[in-house]
Amino acid sequence: MKKVKDYLQLVKLSLSIMVVFSSVISFMLTKGYDAYEDKLFRILMLFAGGMLVTGSANAINQVVEKDTDAMMKRTAKRPVAAGRMSVTEGWAFAIITGAAGVLVLGNYFNWLAAGLAVFSLFLYAFIYTPLKKVNSIAVLVGAVPGALPCLIGWAAGENNLGMGGWILFAFQFFWQFPHFWAIAWVAHRDYSTAGFKLLPAEEGPTKFTAMQTIAYSLILVPVTLLPFFTGMCSYAGTRGMVAVGLVLLANVFMTWRCVNLYNKMDVSSARKVMFGSYMYLPVVMLAWLLSKAV
Protein backbone atom coordinates (compact mmCIF):
# COMPACT_ATOMS: atom_id res chain seq x y z
CA MET A 1 0.00 0.00 0.00
CA LYS A 2 2.88 2.36 0.80
CA LYS A 3 4.41 1.62 -2.60
CA VAL A 4 1.11 2.50 -4.31
CA LYS A 5 1.07 5.79 -2.39
CA ASP A 6 4.60 6.51 -3.55
CA TYR A 7 3.69 5.94 -7.18
CA LEU A 8 0.64 8.19 -6.85
CA GLN A 9 2.94 10.89 -5.45
CA LEU A 10 5.43 10.27 -8.22
CA VAL A 11 2.84 10.97 -10.94
CA LYS A 12 1.38 13.95 -9.01
CA LEU A 13 -2.10 12.44 -9.29
CA SER A 14 -4.25 15.56 -8.78
CA LEU A 15 -2.15 17.63 -11.21
CA SER A 16 -2.21 14.83 -13.80
CA ILE A 17 -5.99 14.51 -13.57
CA MET A 18 -6.42 18.25 -14.14
CA VAL A 19 -4.10 18.14 -17.16
CA VAL A 20 -5.89 15.15 -18.70
CA PHE A 21 -9.30 16.72 -17.98
CA SER A 22 -8.47 19.61 -20.33
CA SER A 23 -7.34 17.13 -22.99
CA VAL A 24 -10.56 15.10 -22.74
CA ILE A 25 -12.81 18.18 -22.91
CA SER A 26 -10.85 19.45 -25.92
CA PHE A 27 -11.39 16.06 -27.57
CA MET A 28 -15.12 16.19 -26.84
CA LEU A 29 -15.33 19.64 -28.47
CA THR A 30 -14.24 18.24 -31.83
CA LYS A 31 -16.48 17.06 -34.67
CA GLY A 32 -14.33 13.94 -34.84
CA TYR A 33 -15.50 12.94 -31.38
CA ASP A 34 -19.11 12.93 -32.63
CA ALA A 35 -18.19 10.45 -35.37
CA TYR A 36 -17.06 7.79 -32.88
CA GLU A 37 -19.68 5.20 -31.93
CA ASP A 38 -17.69 4.04 -28.90
CA LYS A 39 -17.43 7.49 -27.31
CA LEU A 40 -17.03 6.37 -23.69
CA PHE A 41 -14.29 3.90 -24.64
CA ARG A 42 -12.41 6.62 -26.54
CA ILE A 43 -12.69 9.01 -23.59
CA LEU A 44 -11.28 6.31 -21.30
CA MET A 45 -8.43 5.58 -23.72
CA LEU A 46 -7.54 9.28 -24.01
CA PHE A 47 -7.67 9.57 -20.24
CA ALA A 48 -5.43 6.50 -19.83
CA GLY A 49 -2.92 7.62 -22.47
CA GLY A 50 -2.83 11.14 -21.10
CA MET A 51 -2.35 9.96 -17.52
CA LEU A 52 0.52 7.68 -18.54
CA VAL A 53 2.39 10.40 -20.47
CA THR A 54 1.73 13.09 -17.84
CA GLY A 55 2.72 10.70 -15.06
CA SER A 56 5.94 9.94 -16.91
CA ALA A 57 6.79 13.65 -17.24
CA ASN A 58 6.09 14.22 -13.54
CA ALA A 59 8.20 11.22 -12.58
CA ILE A 60 11.17 12.51 -14.60
CA ASN A 61 10.69 15.91 -12.97
CA GLN A 62 10.97 14.36 -9.50
CA VAL A 63 13.99 12.24 -10.41
CA VAL A 64 15.85 15.22 -11.89
CA GLU A 65 14.88 17.51 -9.00
CA LYS A 66 15.33 15.03 -6.14
CA ASP A 67 18.00 17.17 -4.43
CA THR A 68 16.06 20.43 -4.66
CA ASP A 69 12.82 18.66 -3.67
CA ALA A 70 14.61 17.47 -0.51
CA MET A 71 15.40 21.11 0.36
CA MET A 72 11.77 22.29 0.25
CA LYS A 73 9.23 21.59 2.96
CA ARG A 74 6.31 20.94 0.63
CA THR A 75 8.22 18.46 -1.58
CA ALA A 76 10.69 16.83 0.85
CA LYS A 77 8.40 13.80 1.37
CA ARG A 78 8.19 12.92 -2.31
CA PRO A 79 9.38 9.32 -2.80
CA VAL A 80 12.66 9.94 -4.68
CA ALA A 81 13.59 13.01 -2.63
CA ALA A 82 12.91 11.16 0.63
CA GLY A 83 14.89 8.10 -0.48
CA ARG A 84 11.93 5.69 -0.46
CA MET A 85 12.38 5.17 -4.20
CA SER A 86 15.65 4.90 -6.11
CA VAL A 87 16.55 7.04 -9.09
CA THR A 88 16.73 3.86 -11.21
CA GLU A 89 13.20 2.87 -10.22
CA GLY A 90 11.95 6.36 -10.96
CA TRP A 91 13.53 6.35 -14.43
CA ALA A 92 12.22 2.85 -15.18
CA PHE A 93 8.70 3.88 -14.21
CA ALA A 94 8.93 7.05 -16.32
CA ILE A 95 10.19 5.22 -19.42
CA ILE A 96 7.59 2.45 -19.22
CA THR A 97 4.61 4.75 -18.56
CA GLY A 98 5.72 7.29 -21.15
CA ALA A 99 6.13 4.67 -23.87
CA ALA A 100 2.82 3.01 -22.95
CA GLY A 101 0.97 6.34 -23.05
CA VAL A 102 2.36 7.25 -26.48
CA LEU A 103 1.39 3.82 -27.84
CA VAL A 104 -2.17 4.18 -26.48
CA LEU A 105 -2.57 7.59 -28.14
CA GLY A 106 -1.07 6.41 -31.42
CA ASN A 107 -3.03 3.17 -31.65
CA TYR A 108 -6.45 4.36 -30.49
CA PHE A 109 -6.34 7.87 -32.01
CA ASN A 110 -3.55 8.98 -34.35
CA TRP A 111 0.19 9.51 -34.40
CA LEU A 112 -0.17 13.29 -34.54
CA ALA A 113 -1.65 13.24 -31.02
CA ALA A 114 1.04 10.76 -29.93
CA GLY A 115 3.80 12.94 -31.42
CA LEU A 116 2.49 16.02 -29.63
CA ALA A 117 2.52 14.02 -26.37
CA VAL A 118 6.19 13.11 -26.91
CA PHE A 119 7.04 16.75 -27.66
CA SER A 120 5.16 17.89 -24.53
CA LEU A 121 6.94 15.36 -22.33
CA PHE A 122 10.34 16.38 -23.71
CA LEU A 123 9.71 20.11 -23.22
CA TYR A 124 8.46 19.69 -19.67
CA ALA A 125 11.00 17.17 -18.40
CA PHE A 126 14.17 18.23 -20.21
CA ILE A 127 13.79 21.94 -21.01
CA TYR A 128 11.42 23.52 -18.48
CA THR A 129 12.61 21.51 -15.47
CA PRO A 130 16.33 22.51 -15.59
CA LEU A 131 15.48 26.04 -16.81
CA LYS A 132 13.67 26.84 -13.54
CA LYS A 133 17.04 27.46 -11.87
CA VAL A 134 18.33 29.66 -14.68
CA ASN A 135 15.72 32.29 -15.46
CA SER A 136 12.07 33.13 -14.87
CA ILE A 137 11.49 32.66 -18.61
CA ALA A 138 11.04 29.04 -17.53
CA VAL A 139 7.40 29.89 -16.78
CA LEU A 140 6.88 30.95 -20.40
CA VAL A 141 8.60 27.81 -21.68
CA GLY A 142 6.68 25.61 -19.24
CA ALA A 143 3.37 27.10 -20.36
CA VAL A 144 3.83 25.40 -23.75
CA PRO A 145 3.78 21.78 -22.51
CA GLY A 146 1.20 22.91 -19.99
CA ALA A 147 -1.14 23.94 -22.83
CA LEU A 148 -0.32 21.11 -25.25
CA PRO A 149 -2.85 18.68 -23.67
CA CYS A 150 -5.60 20.79 -25.26
CA LEU A 151 -3.94 20.50 -28.66
CA ILE A 152 -3.42 16.77 -28.09
CA GLY A 153 -7.13 16.35 -27.35
CA TRP A 154 -8.04 18.31 -30.48
CA ALA A 155 -5.61 16.27 -32.61
CA ALA A 156 -7.05 13.04 -31.16
CA GLY A 157 -10.46 14.03 -32.51
CA GLU A 158 -9.57 15.84 -35.74
CA ASN A 159 -6.11 14.50 -36.70
CA ASN A 160 -5.06 18.06 -37.52
CA LEU A 161 -3.86 21.27 -35.85
CA GLY A 162 -6.85 23.39 -36.80
CA MET A 163 -7.94 26.75 -35.48
CA GLY A 164 -10.08 25.22 -32.75
CA GLY A 165 -7.09 23.39 -31.34
CA TRP A 166 -5.01 26.55 -31.25
CA ILE A 167 -7.81 28.47 -29.51
CA LEU A 168 -7.91 25.80 -26.80
CA PHE A 169 -4.11 25.86 -26.60
CA ALA A 170 -4.13 29.66 -26.21
CA PHE A 171 -6.70 29.45 -23.41
CA GLN A 172 -4.66 27.05 -21.31
CA PHE A 173 -1.40 28.81 -22.22
CA PHE A 174 -2.50 32.22 -20.90
CA TRP A 175 -4.38 30.69 -17.94
CA GLN A 176 -1.14 29.28 -16.57
CA PHE A 177 0.50 32.65 -15.87
CA PRO A 178 -1.79 33.94 -13.08
CA HIS A 179 -2.19 30.35 -11.89
CA PHE A 180 1.51 29.59 -11.65
CA TRP A 181 2.62 32.97 -10.38
CA ALA A 182 0.10 32.62 -7.55
CA ILE A 183 1.66 29.26 -6.67
CA ALA A 184 5.16 30.77 -6.86
CA TRP A 185 4.01 33.64 -4.61
CA VAL A 186 2.67 31.24 -1.97
CA ALA A 187 5.74 29.00 -2.13
CA HIS A 188 8.29 31.81 -2.63
CA ARG A 189 10.46 30.91 0.37
CA ASP A 190 10.67 27.25 -0.61
CA TYR A 191 11.42 28.08 -4.23
CA SER A 192 14.09 30.62 -3.24
CA THR A 193 15.75 28.06 -0.98
CA ALA A 194 15.93 25.64 -3.89
CA GLY A 195 17.24 28.33 -6.24
CA PHE A 196 14.17 28.44 -8.48
CA LYS A 197 13.55 31.69 -10.37
CA LEU A 198 9.87 31.66 -11.20
CA LEU A 199 8.40 35.10 -10.45
CA PRO A 200 8.63 37.84 -13.11
CA ALA A 201 10.40 40.22 -10.71
CA GLU A 202 13.80 39.29 -9.25
CA GLU A 203 12.80 40.94 -5.97
CA GLY A 204 10.11 38.27 -5.46
CA PRO A 205 6.42 38.98 -4.83
CA THR A 206 5.95 42.59 -5.97
CA LYS A 207 3.30 44.90 -7.38
CA PHE A 208 4.75 44.13 -10.80
CA THR A 209 4.01 40.42 -10.34
CA ALA A 210 0.46 41.17 -9.17
CA MET A 211 -0.07 43.46 -12.15
CA GLN A 212 1.07 40.67 -14.46
CA THR A 213 -1.61 38.35 -13.07
CA ILE A 214 -4.23 41.03 -13.82
CA ALA A 215 -2.90 41.52 -17.36
CA TYR A 216 -3.10 37.83 -18.19
CA SER A 217 -6.52 37.44 -16.61
CA LEU A 218 -7.73 40.24 -18.91
CA ILE A 219 -6.16 38.55 -21.95
CA LEU A 220 -8.25 35.49 -21.09
CA VAL A 221 -11.51 37.41 -21.59
CA PRO A 222 -11.36 37.62 -25.42
CA VAL A 223 -9.65 34.21 -25.66
CA THR A 224 -12.48 32.49 -23.77
CA LEU A 225 -15.06 34.13 -26.05
CA LEU A 226 -13.32 33.04 -29.27
CA PRO A 227 -15.10 29.63 -29.40
CA PHE A 228 -18.43 31.51 -29.68
CA PHE A 229 -17.19 33.84 -32.42
CA THR A 230 -15.54 31.09 -34.48
CA GLY A 231 -18.45 28.66 -34.51
CA MET A 232 -16.96 26.03 -32.18
CA CYS A 233 -19.70 26.88 -29.70
CA SER A 234 -23.11 28.49 -30.08
CA TYR A 235 -24.28 31.57 -28.21
CA ALA A 236 -27.87 31.14 -29.45
CA GLY A 237 -30.64 29.54 -27.43
CA THR A 238 -30.80 28.88 -23.70
CA ARG A 239 -27.70 26.70 -23.51
CA GLY A 240 -25.66 29.20 -25.50
CA MET A 241 -26.72 32.16 -23.37
CA VAL A 242 -26.05 30.21 -20.16
CA ALA A 243 -22.60 29.24 -21.47
CA VAL A 244 -21.66 32.81 -22.39
CA GLY A 245 -22.91 33.99 -19.00
CA LEU A 246 -20.82 31.36 -17.19
CA VAL A 247 -17.70 32.29 -19.16
CA LEU A 248 -18.14 36.00 -18.44
CA LEU A 249 -18.81 35.39 -14.74
CA ALA A 250 -15.74 33.15 -14.51
CA ASN A 251 -13.62 35.90 -16.05
CA VAL A 252 -14.98 38.55 -13.66
CA PHE A 253 -14.26 36.18 -10.77
CA MET A 254 -10.68 35.48 -11.92
CA THR A 255 -9.86 39.11 -12.66
CA TRP A 256 -11.28 40.26 -9.33
CA ARG A 257 -9.08 37.79 -7.44
CA CYS A 258 -6.01 39.11 -9.26
CA VAL A 259 -7.01 42.73 -8.53
CA ASN A 260 -7.46 41.74 -4.89
CA LEU A 261 -3.91 40.36 -4.88
CA TYR A 262 -2.62 43.67 -6.27
CA ASN A 263 -4.46 45.61 -3.55
CA LYS A 264 -3.51 43.40 -0.59
CA MET A 265 -0.14 41.95 -1.64
CA ASP A 266 -0.29 39.01 0.76
CA VAL A 267 -0.01 35.23 0.66
CA SER A 268 -3.68 34.78 1.51
CA SER A 269 -4.73 36.70 -1.61
CA ALA A 270 -2.23 34.78 -3.75
CA ARG A 271 -3.68 31.53 -2.42
CA LYS A 272 -7.15 32.75 -3.46
CA VAL A 273 -5.88 33.38 -6.99
CA MET A 274 -4.37 29.91 -7.03
CA PHE A 275 -7.52 28.10 -5.89
CA GLY A 276 -9.68 30.43 -7.97
CA SER A 277 -7.75 29.41 -11.08
CA TYR A 278 -8.40 25.74 -10.28
CA MET A 279 -12.14 26.49 -10.36
CA TYR A 280 -11.97 28.85 -13.34
CA LEU A 281 -10.52 26.38 -15.85
CA PRO A 282 -13.17 23.60 -15.58
CA VAL A 283 -16.03 26.12 -15.44
CA VAL A 284 -14.96 27.72 -18.73
CA MET A 285 -14.29 24.41 -20.48
CA LEU A 286 -17.55 22.84 -19.32
CA ALA A 287 -19.43 25.97 -20.43
CA TRP A 288 -17.95 25.52 -23.91
CA LEU A 289 -18.98 21.89 -23.91
CA LEU A 290 -22.50 22.83 -22.85
CA SER A 291 -22.94 24.98 -25.94
CA LYS A 292 -20.87 22.98 -28.43
CA ALA A 293 -22.04 23.64 -31.99
CA VAL A 294 -23.62 20.53 -33.54
What digits encode the pLDDT tens for the residues 55-73? 999 999 999 888 887 887 7
pLDDT higher than threshold 90 for residue 178: yes
Topology (CATH level 3) of domain 1-161: Tetracycline Repressor; domain 2 (1.10.357)
**pLDDT at residue number 294:** 63
CA dihedral 263, 193, 135, 264 (to 10 degrees): 0
Instruction: State the Cα–Cα distance between residues 118 and 18, nearest whole angstrom.
Output: 19
Phi and psi angles of residue 292, each rounded to the nearest 5 degrees, phi first: -55, 135
- Given pLDDT bands bounded at 50, 70 and 90, which one contains residue 206? confident
> So where are the chain's domains?
1-161, 162-294
Q: Is 218 helix (H, G, I), strand (E, B) or coil?
A: helix
pTM, rounded to two decimals: 0.92
- Tell me how crowded residue 2 is: count the other CB atoms within 10 A of its CB: 7
What digits encode the pLDDT tens for the residues 103-142? 999 999 999 999 999 999 999 989 988 888 777 788 888 8
> What DSSP character marks residue 124?
I
